[in-house]
């Protein structure tokens, strides 16, 4: 029985988020430049996006560039931005063919003009696709997102659009960058690190966490299947007892 046959299609995670880590170490192990690691990381992005859509995953969010990543060497940042632009240009066909809608979260106005333009173009062109929503987290930090959310709600409170006693989870959700996305069900991090690194802190409140030692450029669709199979073995209790769930 192949791996994919172990996946129950009626109990798929609605939203998978991935911290794609280990590009630098992958390159170092091979005596290559870190940037080559990122280039190879784009192949795993493509495979993960395609196989998620094929499986029937409705939402996939990838941590492509954090607010902290701006502090990396200039050349590395430039390479990552160039890779973003070239991938968007190249993969628009894949997105259209697979009926995938592109979305982006983060401080998008901090991205180079060229990247912003390309991103907005692909978002516009794919806006009516509905098999899967692919969200790229770019110049994204969860604390920044929460600060931004508090500011937006505060302005509405000040202008009497929202009253403080009516602020609940749904109000917070509606003001996050991820406003139209469901909570994350499964969070995957590659490369053996077991940290969240300022990624979707609010949205992963009840997510199942899955850590694998595989470095991101080595991550294949079989690794994705393994993560989903593991997710499907877990009992999600959302604070209830095992007896209440069963």
CB of 128 to ligand FPP, least distance (A): 22
Residue nearest to ligand FPP (CB): 24
Place of tokens 């997102």: 145
Does residue 52 belong to the site contacting ligand FPP (CB under 6 A)? Answer: no
Q: Which is nearer to ligand FPP, 48 or 149 (CB)?
A: 48
Q: Does 104 bind ligand FPP (CB under 6 A)?
A: no
**Active-site annotation holds for 99:** no
Under 8 Å between Cβ of 121 and 84: no
The answer to whether 136 contacts ligand FPP (rule: CB under 6 A) is yes
Quote the DSSP letter at residue 33: -
CB 207 within 8 A of CB 185: yes
The CB-of-126 to ligand FPP minimum distance in angstroms stands at 14
Q: Does 106 bind ligand FPP (CB under 6 A)?
A: no
Which two three-digit tokens encode residue 143? Answer: 């604390």
List 48, 61, 79, 87, residue binding ligand FPP (CB under 6 A):
87
Q: Applying CB under 6 A, does 38 fall inside the site for ligand FPP?
A: yes
Q: Name the strand (E) or helix (H) holding 209.
A: strand 208-211
Catalytic pick from 10, 23, 59, 69?
A: 69
Per residue, what are the HEC states of 99-153?
CEEEEEECCHHHCCHHHHHHHHHHHHHCCCCCCEEEEEEEEECHHHHHHHHHHHH
Could you say which of 12, 16, 17, 22 contacts ligand FPP (CB under 6 A)?
22
Q: How far apart are CA 130 and CA 144, in angstroms?
A: 29
Q: Is 21 a catalytic site residue? A: yes
Contacts with ligand FPP, residue ranges (CB under 6 A): 20-25, 38, 41-42, 45, 62, 64, 69, 80, 83-84, 87, 136, 191, 216
């Amino acid at each position: 029985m192949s791996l994919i046959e172990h996946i129950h299609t009626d109990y798929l995670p609605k939203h998978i988020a991935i911290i794609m880590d280990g590009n630098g170490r992958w390159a170092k192990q091979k005596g290559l430049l870190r940037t080559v690691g990122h280039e190879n990381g784009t192949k795993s992005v493509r495979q993960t996006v395609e196989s998620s859509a094929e499986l029937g995953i409705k939402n996939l969010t990838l941590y492509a560039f954090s607010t902290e990543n701006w502090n990396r060497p200039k050349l590395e940042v430039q390479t990552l931005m160039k890779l973003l632009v070239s991938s968007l240009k190249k993969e628009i066909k894949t997105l259209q063919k697979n009926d995938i809608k592109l979305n982006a979260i983060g401080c998008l106005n901090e991205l180079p003009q060229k990247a912003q333009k390309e991103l907005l173009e692909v978002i516009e062109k794919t806006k009516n696709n509905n098999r899967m929503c692919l969200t790229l987290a770019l110049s994204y930090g969860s604390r920044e997102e929460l600060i931004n959310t508090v500011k937006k709600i505060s302005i509405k409170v000040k202008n009497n659009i929202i009253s403080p006693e009516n602020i609940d989870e749904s109000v917070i959700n509606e003001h996050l960058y991820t406003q139209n996305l469901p909570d994350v069900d499964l969070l995957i991090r590659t490369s053996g690190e077991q940290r969240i690194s300022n990624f979707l802190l609010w949205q992963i409140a009840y997510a199942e966490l899955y850590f694998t030692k595989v470095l991101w450029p080595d991550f294949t669709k079989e690794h994705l299947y393994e993560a989903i199979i593991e997710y499907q073995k877990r009992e999600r209790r959302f604070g209830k007892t095992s007896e209440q769930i069963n």
